[in-house]
Amino acid sequence: MAAEKRAADRAGGDRLAEYRRRRDPGRTPEPVPADAPLPHDADDTFVVQEHHARSLHWDLRLERGGVLVSWAVPKGVPDDPRENRLAVHTEDHPLEYASFEGEIPAGEYGAGRAILWDRGTYETEKWTDREVKVVFHGTRVTGRYVLFRTRGDDWMIHRTDPPADPDAEPPPEGLRPMRAQRRARLPRDEDAWGFEFAWGGRRLLARVTGGRARFTGADGRPAKAPAGLGTALGGALGARPALLDGEVARVAGDEVYLVFDVPHLDGRPLLDVPYRERRARLDALGLDGPGFRTAPWFPGDENSGGAVRDAAEREGLAGIVAKRLASPYRPGAESADWRWLPVSTRR
């Protein structure tokens, strides 16, 4: 029905009728032109907006005949020809939408934050009601793509060029986390270590791709996460693929996923990267949202281990974890490079 109505609107000359019908110009900051679109000759602009609506998705819009022909792509534009992704054809948008960023208010159609993720030019190789072949020249999206209709408003988007990054690897599945050895005393060379609180929670690894997160436990098998965590964490990372290591623990009475390592990020394994550098990359992600945050850590000096242990004891925690700054990430291994230390032992 929606496709038929849009076709009728186009036949009547107003391709933005459906767009205006869905929006209240007095409430939304989106551009809502009062008139039908004017003819436009270039037909070469494209835009991708990251849309944090009820469900995170990316909106692909191509300038065509004075409007932006639009598709909602739930997992984002693929960068590898081995993966086709769903693209749902939506209503045409005005050309002014190519520069739109902002917060669409609650209660409005598409409520949520829209971010300008990429914008550039494109060339048309083929355009029919069932198939669109284009070449993108953007900052993040480049190369040849085809959109093809499967059923109703459902289309698929496929990259026909080789992978945008031939060396990229997806985050591994079923990875078992690295484990700490129990020790009684702090390491002597504290300046070669970093220190974290031992939260006493449930270990979870989060595999994030296409703005969605799936979780595995200490045994590498699928595990249940707190409600809403996968959506929130996926939304925070957006299109950036990652494997995160952390634990679900009670903090100030709330259940929180505390992230303390990143074994894989942006298509690159970080297993052999030293802990100090992995921690710097994790901190740079700025993960802090509903039900999740980056766990604090404290680079060592001659007294920091004792100070962290004392702080853990004041917080009622059972211990701390010392991690060698130069240590790699050893999946499934119990390593002396990570040491669980009880707070009750004194030097």
The tens digit of pLDDT for each residue in 87-130 reads: 999 999 999 999 999 999 999 999 999 999 999 999 999 999 99
**Distance between CA 85 and CA 156 in Å, rounded?**
5
**Please, which contacts does 131-136 make with residues 24 or more away whose CB atoms are closer than 8 Å?**
132/62, 133/160, 134/46, 134/62, 136/46
**Distance between CA 263 and CA 172 in Å, rounded?**
9
Per-residue model confidence as pLDDT tens digits over 229-251: 999 999 999 999 999 999 999 99
Q: Is the pLDDT of residue 12 over 90?
A: no
For the domain made up of 179-342, the CATH class stated in words is alpha beta
pLDDT score recorded for residue 303: 73
- Cβ atoms of 234 and 220 within 8 Å: the answer is no
**Looking at residues 214-229, what average pLDDT do you find?**
96
Ranges of each domain in the chain: 2-159, 179-342
Residue 186, classed as helix, strand or coil, is coil
Name the residue with higher pLDDT: 3 or 34: 34
pLDDT score recorded for residue 35: 72
Q: Is the pLDDT of residue 175 over 80?
A: yes
Q: Is the pLDDT of residue 347 over 50?
A: no
Structure tokens at 323: 């991690």
Model confidence at 41, pLDDT cuts 50, 70, 90, reads low
The mean predicted confidence, pLDDT, of the chain is 92
pLDDT score recorded for residue 345: 53
Q: Is the pLDDT of residue 340 over 90?
A: yes
- Cβ atoms of 191 and 301 within 8 Å: the answer is yes
Give the side-chain half-sphere CA count within 13 A for 9.
19
Structure tokens at 63: 């300038």
pLDDT over 70 for what percent of the chain?
94
**Distance between CA 31 and CA 25 in Å, rounded?**
8
**Distance between CA 288 and CA 302 in Å, rounded?**
30
Model confidence at 4, pLDDT cuts 50, 70, 90, reads very low
Residue 288, classed as helix, strand or coil, is strand
**Distance between CA 31 and CA 114 in Å, rounded?**
13
pTM, two decimals, is 0.88
Model confidence at 339, pLDDT cuts 50, 70, 90, reads very high
CA distance to 139, 157, 233, 253, 293, per residue, from 289 (Å)? 28, 31, 8, 16, 6
